[in-house]
Amino acid sequence: MTSSPLFQIEHLNAGYGESIVLSDVSLDVQQGEIVSLLGPNGAGKTTTMMAITGLLSAYGGTIRLDGHPITDKPAHKRVDLGVALSPEGRQVFPELNVEENLLLGSFASKARASRPRNLTRIYDLFPRLAERKKQLAGLMSGGEQQMLAIGRALMSEPRLLLLDEPSLGLSPLITELVYDTIPVIAAEGISILLVEQNTEAALAVSNRAYVLSHGRIVAAGKAEDLRDSAVLRDAFFGGA
Ligand code: ATP
């Protein structure tokens, strides 16, 4: 790497109580880059996302944004600094409508003042949300809820957007629709860290990828080089 990365994790250890899930995880994401974190069930992908957002404390290691450590900052501070998560399972508020859900994405952040501009931007990106502004989120399809979760994360004007399994439970067609927006977001200069079990969809839009197995990075490289690699197969089907 020549330029210093927008986002960097160095030697991260994290887990739950006595149980260490992540061991010595290091990765980086350049500005405007799309990077995947791939791995099977239980590899530690969501745990990595939780540690990045500050919802889970690190046991060791450093997380940096723009070169500055954010490892000890509380979750809300990290949002203000530019880290936003679209969580696994979307977690939209079913009894609120689309626009209310979107507005919650900037509720406590410094992006509150630019809400009207950001709403317009998100409705441009996801016309389906614009058509359904007043619809209850709980009545939306899985794909629409996924768009809503991504839109809600974008409302805080992130520099690093964390997408946790955006294809979960979606048909291939709807997955494609959601995935089509990822390069558009990155083209605005937003860095994207994409967690997926759907390696094919993720690698198709990613510049680079890391493979996580049993809480350790077992491979890293350009997306096109990892696509047919044995190490990726081993991580999913045993061996790595
Ligand atoms: P998936 O694709 O199934 O979401 P993942 O790669 O995201 O998997 P994690 O959810 O990070 O994996 O889980 C990694 C490990 O941490 C698993 O062994 C899991 O059982 C454990 N784990 C996750 N959440 C907790 C928790 N709240 N308390 C204790 N252990 C947990």
Beta-carbon count within 10 A of 40 CB: 17
Which of 87, 83, 89 has the alpha carbon at shortest distance from 70? 83
Measured torsion, CA atoms of residues 71, 73, 192, 117, in degrees rounded to the nearest 10: -170
State whether the beta carbon of 3 lies less than 6 angstroms from ligand 1: no
Give the closest residue (by CA) to ligand 1 atom 19: 42
Predicted pLDDT of residue 1: 47
Give the closest residue (by CA) to ligand 1 atom 17: 42
Q: Which structure tokens are listed for 162?
A: 């964390």
Q: ipTM of the predicted structure?
A: 0.93
Domain-wise residue ranges, the chain: 28-42+81-237
For residue 195, the CA-to-ligand 1 centroid distance in Å is 13
Lowest mean pLDDT segment, chosen from 5-19, 103-117, 172-186: 103-117
| pLDDT of 239 over the 80 cut | no
| pLDDT of 230 over the 90 cut | no
State whether the beta carbon of 44 lies less than 6 angstroms from ligand 1: yes
CATH for 28-42+81-237, options being 3.30.70.20, 3.30.1310.10, 3.40.50.300, 1.10.10.10: 3.40.50.300
Residue pointed to by tokens 């409705």: 123
How confident is the model over 145-166, as pLDDT tens digits? Answer: 999 999 999 999 999 999 999 9
Give the closest residue (by CA) to ligand 1 atom 2: 41
CA 146 to chain CA centroid, Å, is: 12
**Axis crossing angle, helix 172-179 with helix 142-154, rounded to the nearest 10:** 20
For residue 164, the CA-to-ligand 1 centroid distance in Å is 13
